[in-house]
A and B are shown apart, each in its own frame.
Chain A
Amino acid sequence: MSADLLTAEIGSELARETGDPCRPEDLRRYAEASGDLNPLHLDRDFAHAAGFDDLIVHGMLNMARMGRLLTSRYESAQLSSFTTRFEGVLLVGQPSVLTMQLVARTDAAAEIEILMCTLDGRRIASGRATIRLAV
């Protein structure tokens, strides 16, 4: 399943997909499934009062979607680490672009960069994942 990691050139793009916009009901569903009931994600008046134009998507939901792109390509058991820095805000209704790039490789592991950006290129989150190659 990780054959591309063994052959791809360092710096090459491994995957790219459009992230569908989240609807308020998607945030509600994530809030209930995750237990993160912060009103920034659920209550428009609260989000406005906090200075946002609309409900903001949970950072951990963004990271989960980045993780889903990873596990759609590689086995969960191969994943050794996954780190994400939350750099910007994604609002409900905003689509995103997710990309994965191979940034380093040793005999034992491959290092992947995963980015989530808005369509106009603003960075929402940047991640790094280590995939075990040797079992």
Chain B
Amino acid sequence: MALDRSRIGYCLPAFTVTVEPAALAAFAEAIGDPDPACREIAPPTFMKVLEGQDNSSRRIMEALGADLKRILHAEQQFEYVAPIRAGMKVSVARCVADIYDRREGQLEFALIETTFADEEAGVLGRSRQLVLVRNPPRSDEA
């Protein structure tokens, strides 16, 4: 088993990201979105960009002791409470919600939960990222 189970419940210090209109426009363009409305309201997957700021994904993986060469993004969930708009200051809080394994530890999963909030609007949405770690078979470890 590679992941540090004592990290279940571990949270990074919350950080704040301003939704820069230029960053939103660049993202909308990069995903081929021709809809200019998306330059005002963030596209559905933009939360992933916000949560990745501050080098936070790498810091969580390091806290878990994950080998970056063995990790895959298995599943991604987003929950939308209120639209994220250009100019908003969004506070981002990320925690390790769960760690579990399958196939006698060959496959390990870490669930990272992130909550996005605005001072005035309150909670804007949530993200749940399921990371898969492919561990070598036990015979390799001997």
What 1/0 mask marks residues of chain A from 7 to 29 whose CB sits below 8 Å from any chain B CB? 00000000000001000001001
Instruction: Give Cα A130 to B44, complex, Å.
Output: 12
What 1/0 mask marks residues of chain A from 31 to 74 whose CB sits below 8 Å from any chain B CB? 01111100000000000001000000001110111011011100
Instruction: Give Cα A33 to B23, complex, Å.
Output: 7
Contact A64 B76 (CB under 8 A): no
Tell yes or no: A83 within 8 A of B by CB.
yes
**B contact residues, total (Cβ < 8 Å):** 30
Task: For residue A70, give the distance in angstroms from its CB to the closest CB of chain B.
Answer: 7
Task: For residue B53, give the distance in angstroms from its CB to the closest CB of chain A.
Answer: 7
Tell yes or no: B63 within 8 A of A by CB.
no
Contact B44 A86 (CB under 8 A): no
Q: B35, B72, B73, B80: which contacts A79 (Cβ < 8 A)?
A: B80
What 1/0 mask marks residues of chain B from 29 to 68 whose CB sits below 8 Å from any chain A CB? 1111101011001011100110011000000000000000
Instruction: Give Cα A63 to B78, complex, Å.
Output: 11
Q: Label chain A's interface by main secondary structure.
A: helix
Contact B72 A86 (CB under 8 A): yes
Contact B49 A34 (CB under 8 A): yes
Contact A84 B75 (CB under 8 A): yes
Instruction: Give Cα A67 to B35, complex, Å.
Output: 12
Contact A76 B44 (CB under 8 A): yes
Most buried by A among B29, B38, B44: B44
Instruction: Give Cα A63 to B49, complex, Å.
Output: 13
Tell yes or no: B4 within 8 A of A by CB.
no
Indicate the size class of the contact surface on chain A.
20 to 34
Tell yes or no: B27 within 8 A of A by CB.
yes
Task: For A34, list chain B residues within 8 Å (CB).
Answer: 27, 30, 48-49, 52
Contact B31 A65 (CB under 8 A): yes
Task: For A122, list chain B residues within 8 Å (CB).
Answer: none
Tell yes or no: A94 within 8 A of B by CB.
no
Instruction: Give Cα A61 to B48, complex, Å.
Output: 11
**Nearest neighbor of A33 in chain B, beta-carbon distance:** B30
Tell yes or no: B83 within 8 A of A by CB.
yes
Contact B48 A60 (CB under 8 A): yes
Task: For residue A79, give the distance in angstroms from its CB to the closest CB of chain B.
Answer: 5
Contacts A81-B77, A84-B76 known; list 7 others, CB within 8 Å: A32-B30, A33-B30, A34-B49, A81-B79, A82-B78, A83-B75, A86-B76
Interface residues of A (CB under 8 A from B): 20, 26, 29-30, 32-36, 50, 59-61, 63-65, 67-68, 70-72, 76-77, 79-86
